[in-house]
Amino acid sequence: MRAEFADVNLIYVGGMWNSYTMEAKEYCLQSYLGLFNTTEMAGALHRNDYWAYHKKDKDGNPAYP
């Protein structure tokens, strides 16, 4: 996948009802590739390490959709 789309640095899964698999998120984290749905997008865009952004649960742990 990365070889065919080498210049892509972010994948946006539109809509608050859409999501991604943890396998996809783990791949993207390892590849420094952003993977977000609508609820995560705004927080990610304000960071230099946008690919690592994630919402947090009440205990401060990563909360993925």
The domain ranges of the chain are 10-54
- Beta strand 10-13 with 62-63: parallel, antiparallel or unpaired? unpaired
Q: How many CA atoms are closer than 13 Å to the CA of 20, on its beta-carbon side?
A: 22
Q: Tell me whether strands 34-37 and 10-13 are parallel, antiparallel or unpaired.
A: parallel
Are 62 and 36 within 8 A, CB to CB?
no
- According to the model, what pLDDT value does residue 1 have? 62
In angstroms, the CA 50 to CA 36 distance is 10
From first to last of its 65 residues, the chain has per-residue pLDDT tens of 678 888 899 999 987 788 899 999 999 999 999 999 988 888 898 899 999 998 889 999 988 87
State the pLDDT at residue 4: 86
| pTM for the predicted model, two decimal places | 0.81
